[in-house]
Structure 1
């Protein structure tokens, strides 16, 4: 079977690509199809993230093994598309270049029979021009308590002054001009 995806850049403008790829291809194959479809050079690190129906990010699937024990962490080449995505699980997030943070919402739109004579992956449709940069991402907590936690109510400006009350650096076990 062939999976047909819509890959949408997370931006104000409508920028997306429709990509068809064999269900037995890996996430690494899909990564290659995405960066080619959007005109990237493929030199940057990328990751897929599983997510729920409302696009809440879950498990990271990276391009390279970044774990402490080599081979312990599964990477893109270890995942076949059909084992991860199906009619019930249709969404995944893709992030390319962790400096620019190009973020894409990827949704499985259709599962169809392969077309005779067609090679996959294939770019089916392209809409919108890529901007020069990914734009600034706004990461916000759901409420102020998430930002400050238990310290919000107990915060006191005087707590930040370590020399308040006549203390000096010698009281902390080192001299002021130690170097």
Structure 2
């Protein structure tokens, strides 16, 4: 079977930027990563990760290019994860982040599952809309109420260290 994806640049600009891509369901997330980077004109040399997402586009479990956990935890890798092992008609959304310094962020949605067409090479770039900007769109991170975060310090006297649990003469 063939998975048809719409890959949308998550930006706040007026113009939409997206690519429609076809790829085999048994291909890896690394294959999808390579197809996305090529279709948007990136060199593909930067770090990237996919994140499983829900219908509200909340970022879930990470699937990364490389294991940088230093053996402390199990990490799903793009090269070892096939598309059909994480995506289905009920689980259709991924978030893709390319180049963690620039934070190019894309919403990746499985739009359709179809039969393989004779004579078509896969992956297949079906449709291109919009030009990618020169720099990644800036992200705005917001908390609903910063007061709820708390830091454990008395805001009235920030220089009062008596209640902190550390030895100021440790060295």
**Which residue in 1 is equivalent to 2:116?**
114
What is the deviation of 1:134?
Answer: 0.5
**Which residue in 2 is equivalent to 1:33?**
35
What is the deviation of 1:111?
Answer: 0.3
Q: Going by fraction, where is helix more abundant, 1 or 2?
A: 1
Q: How does 1:135-154 map to 2 (within 5 A)?
A: 135-146=137-148, 148-149=149-150, 151=152, 154=154
What is the deviation of 1:143?
Answer: 2.4
TM-score, reference length from structure 1 = 0.84
- Unaligned ranges ≥5, structure 2: 162-167
Conserved? CA contact 1:57–1:93, under 8 Å: yes
Aligned residues: 164
- In 1, Cα distance between the equivalents of 2:83 and 2:19? 18
- In 2, Cα distance between the equivalents of 1:136 and 1:106? 19
- The 10-residue stretch of structure 1 (121-130 or 72-81) with the greater mean CA deviation from structure 2: 72-81
- The 10-residue stretch of structure 1 (42-51 or 136-145) with the greater mean CA deviation from structure 2: 136-145
**Which residue in 1 is equivalent to 2:66?**
64
* 1:80 and 2:82 aligned: yes
- In 1, Cα distance between the equivalents of 2:2 and 2:159? 60
* 1:10 and 2:10 aligned: yes
* 1:95 and 2:97 aligned: yes
- For residues 126-161 of structure 1, the C-alpha deviation after alignment (integer angstroms, 9 at most, x for no partner) is 000010000211111132244x32648x411x3237
Q: Which has the larger radius of gyration?
A: 1
